[in-house]
Amino acid sequence: MRPLTGLRIIDLTVAIAGPVATSLLADLGAEVIRVEPPFPRPLHVDIVPRVDGAPDRPYNRILSYNDLHRAKRAITLDLSKAEGRGILLGLVGVSDVVVENMSPRVLPSLGLGYEALRATKPDIVLASMPAFGATGPLRDRVSFGPGIDAMSGLAYLTGYPDRGPMQPANYYCDYNAGALAAFAVIAAIRHRDRTGEGQHIELAMLEGELQVVGEALLDYTMNGRVQQRTGNAHSSMSPHGVYPCAGDDRWIAIACEDDAQWEHLCTVVGRHELAQDVRFADVISRIHHRVEIDEIVSAWTRERPPHAAAEELQAAGVPAGAAQLVTELLDDPQLRARDYVTIVPHPEAGDTLYARPAFTLSKTPTHTELHAPLYGQDTDYVLRELLGLSVGEVAALEAAGVTARQPR
């Protein structure tokens, strides 16, 4: 049994951050029911080929959707219609948590704010993930992760000294906020189980990301310094960077934190005399001469494949790691040994790879076993089994466009 088995969550999320939170909770065993509008899912370029014999429904084969909504159920509801809102409130009555990451004005404008949900189920937990919070001058401003990366200062700190700010290469803000929201939901459920009280969680994505630039904030408040972009350099290590290797666009990361590691590095690269060079006598000296050191290290790494160079350095006690391609990650012996990736069959998209959460629990599994939901696949389960509607009532809702099994 999984740790959150028995917990039912209504997923009203969009984009990346909210789905990340609910997918993590689903991995932990919660029954997550995704509520979608009865319209086509937004199509992306990442549509995978269909399985032979499967119907041609590309909206069920969107790679990003199937990753973000693994192990969930799904139903469509038109919340602009009174009947759709009534169905949602009925679902709230048999659920524990609602998660949403829309602007703070959206749910209240539909009559589905926290007070309305609590009137239906007093101990409901509502987790909201507004970009900037539910109060303040920016409460109604919407944003995707890149906007938060910029406004949090992270983008300003990311990049090289001679270039402008850069965005992180992935959805850094969204995955950070998703993990924080999942943690907050579990804390709120713990409180509810002790006291019987539900509550409204508010996670401002901007404030969540400010936590990862805390060092820069402290440096300014305590020292009056405004941190600048430093590329791969480090304030207390040298050499510290990503160095070119043999091959097309192949690289290795190397970091030396003390004199002993520096001496070992000098031995590995065949430059024993550098360990006695006064320019590199200690960490501070090496930081001041990091350009010369980077040139020396690069001359050695360019002659070697990244994995071979990493093995040689690691054997000598020097922290190093090859910059792996995605294809290498799937075959990485460490990840394979730890059973990090699960293959889950999808009836229309075929075998799909899912990564388990970054933690393991010795008594309860966390691997994903269910594929992402097909469009409207759980209509009967939600409307008939959970809410007790008749076949005729469900058919009437479909005829009225309140719910749908195929996008209209």
Looking at 77-198, which runs of residues are DSSP E strands?
97-100, 125-128
Q: Could you give the angle at which helices 306-315 and 290-301 cross, rounded to 10 degrees?
A: 120
Distance CA 339, CA 364 (A): 15
pLDDT reading at 319 higher than 90 = yes
For the chain, what percentages of helix, strand and coil (3-state, to nearest 5) are there? 40, 15, 45
Q: What does the pLDDT read at residue 231?
A: 95
Q: What does the pLDDT read at residue 136?
A: 96
Question: Percent of the chain having pLDDT more than 70?
Answer: 100
Q: What does the pLDDT read at residue 45?
A: 76
Angle at alpha carbon of residue 12, lines to 357 and 153, rounded to 5° = 65
Residue 354's H or E segment, with its range, is: strand 350-355
Contacts 24+ apart (CB under 8 A), 151-154: 151/206, 152/206, 152/209, 152/210, 152/212, 152/213, 153/210, 153/213, 153/216, 154/209, 154/212, 154/213
Digit-coded pLDDT (tens) for 265-314:
999 999 999 999 999 999 999 999 999 999 999 999 999 999 999 999 99
Contact criterion met (CB below 8 Å) for 204 and 130: yes
Counted residue by residue, the chain has a size of 408
pTM (global) more than 0.85: yes
Structure tokens at 229: 């972009």
CA 125 and chain centroid, separation:
22
Q: What does the pLDDT read at residue 51?
A: 96
Least confident of 18-22, 43-47, 70-74, 162-166: 43-47
Contact criterion met (CB below 8 Å) for 48 and 54: no
Q: What does the pLDDT read at residue 365?
A: 86
Contact criterion met (CB below 8 Å) for 152 and 204: no
Contact criterion met (CB below 8 Å) for 257 and 241: no
Average pLDDT for the chain: 96
Q: What does the pLDDT read at residue 24?
A: 96
From 73, 25, 32, 29, select the one nearest 180 (Cα to Cα). 25
Distance CA 350, CA 366 (A): 22
Please tell me whether the peptide bond between 108 and the residue prior to it is cis, using omega within 30 degrees of 0: no
Q: Write phi, then psi, for 89 (nearest 5 degrees).
A: -65, -35
User: What single-letter amino acid sits at 250?
Assistant: R
Distance CA 394, CA 388 (A): 10
Tokens 């508010």 correspond to what residue?
A: 202
As a whole number, mean pLDDT of residues 170-177 equals 93
pLDDT reading at 367 higher than 80 = no
Three-state SS for 144? coil
Residue 174 is among the residues annotated as catalytic for this protein: yes
CA dihedral 255, 244, 315, 318 (to 10 degrees): -10
Bridge partners (DSSP) of residue 344 are 352
Strand-pair category, 31-36 with 73-76: parallel
Which is the catalytic residue, given 96, 174, 294, 378? 174
The radius of gyration of the chain's CA atoms, rounded to the nearest angstrom, is 26
Tokens 């992306």 correspond to what residue?
A: 44
Q: What does the pLDDT read at residue 366?
A: 84
Structure tokens at 14: 């969009």
pLDDT reading at 358 higher than 80 = yes
User: What single-letter amino acid sits at 139?
Assistant: R
pLDDT reading at 256 higher than 90 = yes
Contacts of 249 (CB under 8 A, 6+ apart): none
As a whole number, mean pLDDT of residues 205-220 equals 94
Contact criterion met (CB below 8 Å) for 203 and 177: yes
Digit-coded pLDDT (tens) for 83-141:
999 999 999 999 999 999 999 999 999 999 999 999 999 999 999 999 999 999 999 99
Q: What does the pLDDT read at residue 369?
A: 84
Domains in the chain: ranges and CATH? 8-211+339-399 (3.40.50.10540), 240-328 (3.30.1540.10)
Contacts of 45 (CB under 8 A, 6+ apart): none
Residue 198: how many CA atoms within 13 Å on its side-chain side? Answer: 20
